[in-house]
Structure 1
Amino acid sequence: ITIILYEGVNEMFRKRLHDLVKIMGNTLLILLVFCVLMQVIFRYVLKISVPWTEELARVITIWLTIIGLAVIESENTQITTTYFVSKMKGSYQKIWKTVIALLTIIFLCTFFVGSLKMLPKASNIMLGSMPFLKTSIIYIPPIIAVPLAIIFIIYQLKDFKEFTEI
């Protein structure tokens, strides 16, 4: 009964994390579309050059890309080529999946540490057309997304059965 309860809580936690990253990703996508729409309206309809919309769109794109990493890992929808690996025995497939997951986690940890190091260094530099924002804003998404992506990679390893040919 304890194991079943633990699995239920574990699945609920996983679903909540998945929902959280999906909401963040969708919100960022809506903001990006709105920002680009504002760029078009200002530039081509009102004939006004508003440089902050372009810079804001760039920042939102960075956020969307990195938060999208957590979304992709939560849904296990990253691009993979498994033709040769799917020909291996199940135990070798599990070893291969574990090696890939460990390499991915090492890369993500490096990305996380690099972002942590750059955050204070960029905290005194303002964005050109938006002086109320600091460039450190582009180092925040990895601090949010990388731990979530690592959690989802661990879930993938736990759930892994075998690679299938597509």
Structure 2
Amino acid sequence: MAEKRYPMTAEGKKKLEQELEDLKLKKRPEIIERIKIARGFGDLSENSEYTSAKDEQSVVESRISEIKTMLQYAEVVDVNDVDANEVSVGKKVTFQEADEEPETYQIVGSAESDPLAGKISNDSPIAQSLLGKKVGDTVTIETPGGAFAVKIINVEN
């Protein structure tokens, strides 16, 4: 079975690499030190500091593993390899629903998604409907809240 691919921008990959480095070189050693200190408090069965540090260690190790997998199977998307008017991962797309204000989002890999910053995941219903379409196309977007039609106004790198 083929491994899942993780499309992302070069910026997104760099951020993941920085997060991985921070977790491995700063966070992990801090937690190990907290565990050592907590062990010195005695009985581990009633030692909340120890339990808390071990729980945090588990979360950090899980995130390290997740990031390593994403980086191993990362597909850095070069927006210059795609037609300038075509919606793809890494590009900003502006679209408008009838009688509504235009909306602009950058389509990014799921690891980079931050809707409040205008970055939506390529796995989202909106992005899935827009990917591969071009400026001027009218697209029906199916979401859990219902379907709506939008017109693609602009695509930019």
Structure-2-length-normalised TM-score: 0.39
**TM-score, with structure 1 as normaliser:** 0.37
Structure number with higher helix proportion: 1
Specify which structure has the bigger relative contact order, considering alpha-carbon pairs within 8 angstroms and separated by 6 or more residues. Answer: 1
Q: Which has the higher strand share?
A: 2
